[in-house]
Amino acid sequence: MSFTSQIQAVAYCRTPYKQKFGIPRQPGLVEARGYVELAGEFNHIDAVRGLEQYSHLWLLFCFHENLAQGWKTTVRPPRLGGNEKMGVFATRSTFRPNGIGQSVVKLHGIVKRKGKVCLEISGMDLLDGTPIVDIKPYIPFSDAIDGAVGGIAQEAPELIEVEFSQQALTQTTKYSMREHSPDLEPLIRAVLAQDPRPAYKKAKEDPKLYQVALYDLDIFWKMQDGKAQVLELVPGKI
């Protein structure tokens, strides 16, 4: 059944995450900095007047990269190794009717960048360019539930160790000196510590060379002795 209300982007999220692989699977797991850039008729300071009183925000957004692939009644959550099925509404799957996601992020301030009113945020799990369809303040007395039960996701995922080759460390130091990527080393460490590999890869030996795209860099890494080894940083096309 359809309804008449039209949903449009009120803002776009600017993040270091240039591809889906490597983005944390929930907010608050990686302290990456980003911006929510108000768009079109919503690009007005009055639209966010008073928001600075809050420490955190709810972002409602569109999984725009997955919309074309539609949705299924059941999905295979990575938490269950990709082997067991659960109902789409019992998961945070990105393939869902209407393609709506929601994340709590930390608000650091309201700034103006290149003529746009921007909310400076951290902890988001969103691809760069994600359309935001609504922004709301996080209200602790109501939104934080003591003793809530988290089903298959009661605890944050376990972290793995991350090591850098000498070459990667030198490159990281060099690229951290740029104004737009000062947090590069902690960001790479935190992203890879989440072990972004698909669940079925984690069980056995994995010789594959992986790549994640952060800012304008392709980060090449592989697994060795149960640790993520960062090998090289290459300026990417993005």
Q: List the structure tokens of 84.
A: 């067991």
| Cβ closest to ligand SAM, residue 131 vs residue 162 | 131
| Cβ closest to ligand SAM, residue 94 vs residue 122 | 94
Q: List the structure tokens of 132.
A: 């935001």
Q: Is the dihedral of CA 177, 181, 183, 186 positive or negative?
A: negative
Residue 92 CB, shortest distance to ligand SAM, in Å, is: 4
Closest residue to bound ligand SAM by CB: 101
| Cβ closest to ligand SAM, residue 20 vs residue 227 | 20
Q: Please, are residues 194 and 188 in contact by the beta-carbon 8 Å criterion?
A: no
Residue 202 CB, shortest distance to ligand SAM, in Å, is: 16
Residue 27 CB, shortest distance to ligand SAM, in Å, is: 5
| Cβ closest to ligand SAM, residue 20 vs residue 222 | 20
Q: Is 229 exposed, middle or buried (0-12, 13-18, 19+ CB in 10 A)?
A: middle
Cα separation, 99 vs 91, in Å, equals 13
| Cβ closest to ligand SAM, residue 65 vs residue 120 | 65
Residue 11 CB, shortest distance to ligand SAM, in Å, is: 13
Q: List the structure tokens of 188.
A: 């790479």
Residue 173 CB, shortest distance to ligand SAM, in Å, is: 28
Terminal Cα-to-Cα distance of the chain (whole angstroms): 39
- Positions that interact with ligand SAM (CB under 6 A): 20, 23-27, 63-66, 92, 94, 101-103, 125-127, 130
Residue 200 CB, shortest distance to ligand SAM, in Å, is: 16
Q: What is the dihedral of CA 209, 214, 217, 218, to 10 degrees?
A: 10
Q: List the structure tokens of 181.
A: 């990527």
Cα separation, 194 vs 22, in Å, equals 8
In angstroms, what is the C-alpha Rg of the chain?
19
| Cβ closest to ligand SAM, residue 66 vs residue 229 | 66
